[in-house]
Amino acid sequence: MHRSRLTLDPDFRIGAVDERLFGSFVEHMGRSVYTGVFEEGHPTADEDGFRTDVLELTRELGVTTVRYPGGNFVSNHRWEDGVGPLADRPTTLDLAWRSLEPNTFGLNEFMAWARKAGVEPMMAVNLGTRGTSDALNLLEYANHSSGTRYAELRREHGVADPHDILLWCLGNEMDGPWQMGHKTAEEYGRLAAETARAMKRLDPRLSLVACGSSHADMPTFGAWEATVLEHTYEHVDLISAHAYYEPLDGDVDSFLASGSGMDDMIRSVVAAADHVGSKVRSKRRINLSFDEWNVWYQKGWGGEDSLEWTERPRLIEDVYDVTDAVVVGSLLMTLLRNADRVSVACQAQLANVIAPIMTRPGGPAWRQTIFHPFALTARHAKGEVLRTEPETPRTETGRYGEVPLLWTTATLDRKNGEISLFAVNRDRTRPMTLETSLKAFPGVRLVEHLVLADDDPTAVNTEAEPDRVAPRTVVPTRPTDGVLTTELAPSSWNLLRLAYDSPATGRGPA
């Protein structure tokens, strides 16, 4: 059995937990929208055609922010096609996913859905086939109160009050040659800067995200960020990062270490941003919006050219197993570990398309395995992130080199006297004993230990067996002399909830 040790202390503070870290993504792709969040005539559909079973699962998942309408979709999208009377909306060709788009669900429908789901919208503008003028028209339609062309158009469409969307993406993956309107870093940087200046002139409240690299293996990774930020540094607030993970060539050990790969990527983007900040002598600091991340089995994806022109095709509806859930949990932990520099994050996507929620048209919705670590982290990661520096064995991986077998992070809710310790044992065969020093927390006790693991790491949840994989409770142990000793199963994601006698509230939660 492996042995690891770590110390938790309230002075080991990284940064506050930003609620926007628990974001998701709804793109007009496959069945994410149609028969995902929206299905008129479904037994659970409400008066707006929204599937209430998906709404309930979205709330349970703990999603705080949702990016819309893309993704690759946005780079060929005309937002005007999705507003106004349904009879006047055209069916259009979506070049990103070679799909027929009926435009039944557009901006106003999304905003109505977002209000019901209780999430903040994150809107993307088309800087691929369109540009600054169209971005301003969309912003005026969405956020201006009345008395102007596009504000009055919104009111004619039955939406009297402005949507007040404050978080905006300046295009999507513009470094990618697959993107409609793909640009060089110089071309995109100039356009993004011009658009950002104009949008903030219209509405100074906005937070704007410039496009970073599509993934860390892009040949321009790092250089792209530096060039784009040299143009935009004083005009944007965040730079995006995107990453997807899968076990390549059967290398499960590297797959389980994906959190280390994400950690390296974050550090690289931060270094590029801070370099530009120093170069332009700015007092501002650019943080990251990690607005696409997940496990995605891309080797099984035939690519856009393999698609036929059809409406709501079944695209990349990956079914996730236990190992996938452990990796998703570790990626969330990595985002928290970088809470001082990652301000927004969106798991792609919410429903059906590489998603925690699956649906059958006309039928039920159910939780995939990856639903559980996200929901529990969103529910219990509150307050501040604490730095954890465990003493743990290390192992060599093919993709990421030498990595620690124990991956951890922790959050401290001083107001309620609660600590949440998240831990992953990356070893696939051997359990791990973890000794956690909690001597800085008076009266500390273990409230709950939840584990996501299974004797069959390939087990999945399906419509027939929706609860085959779920977190289970481990009989809690008591700290002895301020040290908690717990056992972590092989290839497992763990949540240890602790309470202590908080000076703010007295005795913490039971």
Give alpha helix (H) positions in 182-312.
185-202, 223-232, 252-256, 258-279
Contacts with 333 (C-beta within 8 Å, 6 or more apart), sequence order: 259, 377, 407, 408, 409, 422, 424
Q: Quick check: is 402 catalytic? A: no
From the CB of residue 156, how many other CB atoms can be counted at a distance below 10 Å?
Answer: 11
CA dist., res. 36 & res. 439, Å (int): 48
Instruction: Check 173, 246, 384, 418 and give the catalytic one.
Output: 173
CA dist., res. 254 & res. 264, Å (int): 14
The CA-atom distances, in angstroms, between 89 and each of 150, 226, 229 are 17, 41, 38
Provide the β-strand partners of residue 366: 358
From the CB of residue 151, how many other CB atoms can be counted at a distance below 10 Å?
Answer: 18
The CA-atom distances, in angstroms, between 389 and each of 62, 355, 394, 458, 498 are 28, 32, 13, 31, 19
Sign of torsion over alpha carbons 12, 15, 347, 109: positive
Instruction: Check 101, 292, 384, 418 and give the catalytic one.
Output: 292
Whether 136 and 203 have beta carbons less than 8 Å apart is answered as no
- Encode 442-473 in three state secondary structure: CCCEEEEEEEECCCCCCCECCCCCCCCCCCEE
Whether 210 and 185 have beta carbons less than 8 Å apart is answered as no
Q: Quick check: is 304 catalytic? A: no
Supply the residues annotated as catalytic: 173, 292
